[in-house]
Structure 1
Amino acid sequence: MALANDLTLRLQGALDRDEAIALFRGAIGRESITGNEANFVAYLDEKMRALGLTGQRTAEFLPGRPNIWGERKGDGKGSRLLFIGHTDTVHVDGWSEHWAGTEREDPFAAPIIDGAVWGRGSGDLKAGICASLAALSLLDKAGIRLAGDVSYAFIGDEESGQPGTGVSAGIKDLVARIETGEVAKPDFVVYVEPTRLSVYPAQIGFFITDITITGKSAYFGVPELGKDALRASHAAMTALWSHSDEIAARTEHKLVGRSFLLITGLSGGGYIAVPERCTLSLIRKLLPGESLDAAAAEIEATVRSAITDPEIKVEFSYPAGRDHVLGGTAAEIDEAAAEVGMLSASMASAMTGRGVIEGAPFWSESPFFVNRLGVPAVYCAPGDIRNCHTYEEHVEVEEYLAGVVGFAAFMARYCGVIE
């Protein structure tokens, strides 16, 4: 532990705070709402070239929407580490109106207020991207050369707030290039989703189901001639809530809790007539080890068993396919793995109370590595997911800088150094 603390102190002494903060604020200033990733990628291209990365290139995963990647080669005697994050952010609808007349009015101005950097994308997840890049610069300033390789890949289309986007098109393109050998396969991956510098070796899975229930309309005075879709939906929702209780009672995962489903939307009905059509939407949380296909089949069986009238038609659709056609799979790696402990210790040394091992209460793209490529991956970065996607999105300056130091220390420990 003394050696770990010595390394952290050495890195803290070499840290250029102003430079690291300027990198972060500049990133927020490059608006990159999903679909406009190229604006931020151009900024990253400039900053990554300044670090002297090799093999750096951009490639479009969809027209006008590029990924970017590059690496710092070691001497071939250490492990290969990948830092990855998404370049796109959610929208800013209502932000300026919410903060009108204040320092926060411009969502891309990145003001520092009460010790925090504010702005859209600050936490989700430009703090993580910038901390990982600033960490390599910090190693250079501290005179530490790595034996292993540190690589970076920044990809688009992770967020799902814009129409026709958010299907993980960016990472699908990158993973395909890894599978063909065009991009080198990493030994360990840090996905820089915001965790408040905790380390997440497990994450939930999910799928969204849209259910359309179709009956038959009839004039309100003769309801016996119709088939009431809203009444049928009530029966379906009652059964679904009971099913949620059932799956929650099955098991509890140490890091991510229990499964459940949440009905998120209901619409239907008309004017003075028996409602012919009703649609409802739900999201299902899955634990590591749960089959997405089996869980979806259970949902369908639950609804069909609740609607007993054969003349009422029920249809299911799954609009949020990610690494699975129906949704996103859950993922986990061994929380006791050496790499997990190493990253945890690096963050704990950089900032008191950080580096805690926890589970991700969100879905992001680590399953593409864990489940598809068989590469261990975790989430870790500055920022608090609880204020992301809101008008309150911000990152504490000291936490961001601790992330820079923590990532640099982890790079040195994991990749090894050249004495």
Structure 2
Amino acid sequence: MAHSDNLSRRLLGALDRDDAINLLRAAIGRESITGNEANFVALLEDEMRARKIDAVHRADFLPGRPNIHGERKGGGGGKRLLFIGHTDTVHVNGWRDYWSGTEREDPFGAPIIDGSIWGRGAGDLKAGICSALAALSLLDRAGIRLKGDVAFAFVGDEESGEPGTGISAGVKAYVAEIEAGAVARPDFTVYVEPTQLAIFTAQIGFLIADIAITGKSAYFGVPELGKDALKASHAVMSALWRHSDELSARAEHDLVGKGFLLITGLTGGGFIAVPEECKLSLIRKLLPGEPLDAAAQEMEAVIRDAIADPEIRVDISYPAGRDHPLGGSAAEIDRNLSDVALLAQSVSDAMSGRGEIKGAPFWSESPFFVNRLGIPAVYCAPGNISNCHTFQEHVEIEEYLAGVMAFATFMARYCGTEN
């Protein structure tokens, strides 16, 4: 770790490595696959109260599925900072078989191996949640009292792998509390998705579309009596691939790259007859500034123009609404904001070479703050997104501890200190 000022040295001297590591291992040990968030929230409630976070409030966003939030009130005169993250993780199907007979066999065992902590949720995103909580305790151990408030919110239903879940129900409920005035509005938000301690000021948007193409079946010997849905789907896919090429050539964002469209699934046919129905699935990546409605309308026009026969029906649905009925909006804040620079400097002070400004190649829930509430939000936390959702999920301990240092430093600098 590299440290540049008295605050960093003071915090480093007060850092309790064992407390921070034990907290993360305990968090991983609480299985919280989407739908079972309450198992992890129970631990968070105990930890938040033990770490003297005030006004801890737990409430179900859906039956049996709670959010939890609280705050540390400052002495007054400082800004309000929010750390938020999701409590749910993806499934562990196949994990035990993959690691059978090794230290990693239990996906919730949180073993320490070669300087890293392993397990489901380690990076996505329990390291981020634990970094924020441990950072507050670090300030307390260092005897640093804040002027501004630090708020914490941990919400469920962000992941989308379990049936009937993954519509951001948790953050919708929390944002509604802010809008209603039940929770104070933050001045700046850090969403603790794993970034390897980079600062993500922009993120992609997306829409997922399911397309059903319905023709008319006919005996294979008289195909002229049918309407071939599979043949029509070929024309649609060809048109969509051309559309994707046009999107990629249209614009490129320096942090999140080019837009495109990816066909992700195809089912159809199966009988010795003219196939009557074919189904396609696709995902469309959007860049900041691209409206979801316009993207969907453009895509639908491409699909319908590709089918010349008016007797072939096309039905299009959007099953993955998030902050928008059709999907998830792209988001971006000014990367030159002084708040962003302050966070980047705090990260760089904690770990040399980190704190770079980048863009998120994923969608998560910052648009609820950036687009809906008009509150600047970034992603920043320890963990590598490339190993999340895989059997390789782990977090390097030194990066995690640097996250604790960085968040504590940022809390002090952003909120101001009384002493």
**2-structure distance, mates of 1:209, 1:41:** 33
Inter-partner Cα distance in structure 2 for 1:81 and 1:310: 56
Match of 2:392 in 1: 392
The one-letter amino acid of 1:338's match is S
Matched, 1:273 2:270: no
Report the secondary structure of 1:173's partner residue: helix
Report the counterpart of residue 191 of structure 2 in structure 1: 191
Distance 1:221 1:392 in 2: 52
Give, as a single letter, the amino acid of the residue that structure 2 aligns with 1:34: T
Q: How does 1:402-413 map to 2 (within 5 A)?
A: 402-413=402-413
* Alpha-carbon distance between aligned partners in 1 of 2:375 and 2:71, rounded to the nearest angstrom: 18
In the alignment, the residues of structure 1 paired with residue 12 and residue 205 of structure 2 have an alpha-carbon distance, to the nearest angstrom, of 37
Q: Distance in 2 between matches of 1:256 and 1:10?
A: 37
Could you say what the CA RMSD is over the residues aligned between the two structures, in angstroms?
1.0
Structure 2 unmatched ranges of 5 or more: none
Report the AA paired with residue 98 of structure 2. Answer: H
Other-structure match for 2:171: 171
Pair 1:145 & 2:145 matched: yes
Show the 5 A alignment for 1:19-418.
Answer: 19-418=19-418
The Cα shift of 1:292 comes to: 0.3
> CA–CA distance in 1 between the matches of 2:300 and 2:180?
37
Query: Aligned partners of 2:270 and 2:22: how far apart in 1?
Result: 55
- Percent of aligned positions that are identical: 72
Deviations 1:243-299 (A, max 9, x none): 001111111111111110110000010221111000000000001110100000011
Query: Match of 1:146, as an amino acid?
Result: L
The size of the alignment, in residue pairs, is: 418
Q: Within 1, Cα distance between the matches of 2:4 and 2:132?
A: 19
Q: Secondary structure at the match of 1:280?
A: strand
Q: Which runs of 5+ in 1 are unaligned?
A: none
Equivalent residue letter for 2:277: R
Where does structure 1 differ by over 4 angstroms across 4 or more consecutive aligned residues? none
Which deviations, in whole Å up to 9, do the C-alpha atoms of 1:202-229 show, x marking residues without a partner?
Answer: 1000010000000011111111111111
Deviation at 1:352, TM superposition (A): 1.3
Does the CA-based 8 Å contact 2:83-2:152 persist in structure 1? yes
Report if the CA contact (8 A) 2:215-2:311 is conserved: yes
SS of residue matched to 1:281 = strand
1:78 Cα deviation from its structure 2 partner: 0.2
Q: Tell me, what secondary structure is at the counterpart of 1:91?
A: coil
- The residue type paired with residue 22 of structure 1 is N
**Offset of 1:52 from its aligned partner?**
1.1
1:4, 1:346 within 8 Å by CA — same for their partners in 2?
A: no
Is the Cα contact below 8 Å between 2:3 and 2:350 reproduced in 1? no
State the distance in 1 between where 2:23 and 2:184 align: 27
CA distance in 2, matches of 1:100, 1:32: 22
Q: Deviations over 1:86-132 (max 9, x none)?
A: 00000001110111111111000000111110000000000000000
Which SS does the other structure have where 2:319 is aligned? coil
2:3 and 2:9 in contact (8 A); partners too: no
- Per-residue CA deviation, residues 319-344 of structure 1 (Å, 9 max, x unaligned), is 00000000000001000001111111
Deviation at 1:4, TM superposition (A): 4.7
